[in-house]
Copies of this chain bind each other. A is one copy, B any other.
């Protein structure tokens, strides 16, 4: 089954609001086994709405429309909807009761404008709105189902969850869809695609597809499939992931399970630390507090995170974390010696089981011929061991901070797991 989503509203087209309705609907439809093939946003104007309805005809089994159903003058969807189906508007008794009781409950008078909300195109299946006054409408034309809903997110969600999705599930046979994402750090999209090229090629014959979803330092690999038997699909995807692990296992830090959000690197590491009842400390120069903030964003952070120090200049590196001043005059603050002292001393100062430290040149200033912008040293320490790695990232300050944080947290994750 194929679907399209039409959003109506000038506020989306001027960038004033983010179209979260279509994101949510796409998730729900995808979970239900309905493939969204097209999404569009059009202004609150008759011709634009009519054009969008007509463009979807023949392409989709279901067309989900949100917006333009309020009582104000700029809401024109219902009129267009009726015209598109060649139906006249009639007052629906059930909706009128709903609207009247909605206002009565709030002790507000019912205006003539509100009464108009009870009008629907003749012949439509009415979707009642428990969170507002504008009803939803379900109508069919040439085997395509058109479903019009209000643009207010909780009104739309209520209708989808209570009425529309159950009605679709009971009236149509839908395929099972399954996907799972493999989360990698430290390998670029292009290198990754070369390594897994053969594996990727054989997915098609198994009715699976692969998507690369990159953010700075991280690539998520999403494997999708559909069929009749959810458990069989899941097993098949797991088998492919096992093969993938043999190819790029050392870059994998976690998984995004079907229907759940991707865990962040800090979440994955925090989970490991919580299980081991171990703690960490952070000493960060070029990331300037960002690594600490990624851990402390998580509820219950204090169980695993003892604290952080941001010694942004050399004086602070010495005063707060006892870096030997000779380091600055010989190899400089962006060096193996510096990060190793930072990590080792952060461990002691913050009484943690592990520590991670970073020092680098985020840019745009601060580069030297030997240390261009993007040069970063990271060290990890425990009471027994010390390990450090040099990275070379790019030119963009913000990205360098994010990439350094991802590299540092993943290095610490491997260190905690005893993999390095």
Chain A: residues with CB nearer than 8 A to chain B?
Answer: 10-20, 22-30, 35-43, 48, 55, 70-74, 105-108, 111, 113-114, 130-131, 133, 152, 154, 179, 188-191, 193-194, 200, 209-214, 222, 224, 282, 284, 286-293, 295-297, 299-302, 305-313, 315-316, 319-320, 349-351, 363-365, 372, 374, 392-399, 401
Please state if A23 and B18 are interface contacts (CB–CB under 8 Å).
yes
3 A-B pairs closest in CB distance: A288-B296, A289-B292, A15-B26
Oligomer: number of copies: 2
Please state if B320 and A307 are interface contacts (CB–CB under 8 Å).
yes
Bound Cα distance A319, B299 (Å): 24
Nearest-CB residue, chain B, relative to A351: B315
Say how far A364's CB is from chain B's closest CB, in angstroms.
Answer: 5
A40-B39, A222-B11, A395-B130 known; A289 vs B302 contact (CB < 8 Å): no
**Which residues of B have CB within 8 Å of A293?**
287-290, 292-293, 401
**Which residues of B have CB within 8 Å of A190?**
70-72, 111, 113-114, 133
Please state if B37 and A43 are interface contacts (CB–CB under 8 Å).
yes
Please state if A189 and B72 are interface contacts (CB–CB under 8 Å).
yes
Nearest-CB residue, chain B, relative to A72: B193
Bound Cα distance A399, B289 (Å): 18
**Which residues of B have CB within 8 Å of A107?**
392
Bound Cα distance A335, B398 (Å): 34
Q: Is the interface of A mostly helix, strand, loop or mixed?
A: mixed
**Which residues of B have CB within 8 Å of A26?**
12-15
Say how far A105's CB is from chain B's closest CB, in angstroms.
Answer: 7
Bound Cα distance A11, B43 (Å): 24
Which residue, A40, A74, A282, A313, has most C-beta atoms of chain B within 10 A?
Answer: A40
Say how far A346's CB is from chain B's closest CB, in angstroms.
Answer: 10
A20-B18, A289-B293 known; A313 vs B320 contact (CB < 8 Å): no
**Which residues of B have CB within 8 Å of A282?**
289, 310
Please state if B313 and A307 are interface contacts (CB–CB under 8 Å).
yes
Say how far A318's CB is from chain B's closest CB, in angstroms.
Answer: 11
Bound Cα distance A130, B364 (Å): 14
**Which residues of B have CB within 8 Å of A302?**
312-313
- Contact pick for A311, options B17, B297, B307, CB 8 Å: B307
Please state if B312 and A316 are interface contacts (CB–CB under 8 Å).
no
Bound Cα distance A74, B223 (Å): 12
